[in-house]
Structure 1
Amino acid sequence: MAPGLECRVFFRREPFVTSSPFKGQTGLKRILNAAGYSMAGFVAAFRGEAAFRQLVLINVILVPLAFFCDVTRGERALMIAVCLLALIVELLNSAVEAVVDRVSLERHPLSKNAKDMGSAAQFVALSIITVTWAVILLG
């Protein structure tokens, strides 16, 4: 060990807390609240994020198109799943961007990295759509 550093273990008699005191309801009430928060997130993303609206449009086109393709059920499920994956990634990317902007609007290398990484994740998701559809449809 480095000089001046000690390893200590403290045993406390306090009960171990497994959940946040800020957690809300349980049971059906929690599920209903979560559904409401989810809908609010979809609405916020649709209203405030052009990229999310574009992905919704892509999904409105590609998901029904998957049902008209001569593919197996597993391939169809995969074609639809990768489209939905891009929506998930965009929601997470938008959430990261919102948090970064909430913390500070000043330019900072870490803020840029966070936003660029979110963008890169979306690029990967869109690449997965392209490759998956191409491999399935073109063999």
Structure 2
Amino acid sequence: MSPFKGQTGLKRVLNATGYSFDGLQAAFTGEAAFRQLVLLNVVLIPLAFCFEVSRGERALMIAACLLALIVELFNSAVEATIDRISLERHPLSKNAKDMGSAAQLVALTLIAAVWATILLG
């Protein structure tokens, strides 16, 4: 067992919430791509309420936007971990970073596909 997993109950939930906010703050202050996605979400999520679509369609439009934020958090975590291990260039490090970037490309493509399908379909 990890020595960092010692808390249980409400104390664990409070600690986890604090760590989550720390992660969001680190991403926002240290990752330009995350800030850009937050801005995209600030525009697109309210815009989703301007269209006459079903609640389910609106939920999909919003979920696709939020998924891109989630993917960027994972991508940033992968990049930070790789950089923590070593800053030297290595093919496996490049692959890991490139795959994280590819995941973000898929998430952004999903936003475009969902919005286009709902609004143009």
TM-score, normalised to structure 1, is 0.85
**Structure 2: gaps spanning 5 or more residues:** none
Query: What is the aligned-residue RMSD (CA, Å)?
Result: 0.8
Answering whether residue 25 of structure 2 is matched by residue 43 of structure 1, we say yes
Deviations 1:76-135 (A, max 9, x none): 000000000000000000000000000000000000000000000000000000000000
Distance 1:26 1:91 in 2: 26
Aligned residue identity for 1:123: L
Residue among 82, 88, 92 paired with 1:110: 92
User: What number of residue pairs does the alignment pair up?
Assistant: 121
Aligned residue identity for 1:114: A
**Structure 1: gaps spanning 5 or more residues:** 1-18
Q: Which runs of 4+ in 1 moved over 6 A?
A: none
Distance 1:111 1:104 in 2: 9
Distance 1:83 1:27 in 2: 32
Distance 2:93 2:4 in 1: 28
Residue 22 of structure 1: how far off its partner (Å): 3.4
Distance 2:92 2:25 in 1: 28
Which structure has greater helix proportion? 2
Aligned to 2:101: 119
TM-score, normalised to structure 2, is 0.97
User: What is the percent sequence identity of the aligned residues?
Assistant: 78
- Structure whose alpha-carbon radius of gyration is higher: 1
Answering whether residue 56 of structure 2 is matched by residue 74 of structure 1, we say yes
Residue among 96, 112, 116 paired with 1:130: 112
Higher RCO (CA < 8 A, seq sep 6+):
2
Answering whether residue 78 of structure 2 is matched by residue 96 of structure 1, we say yes
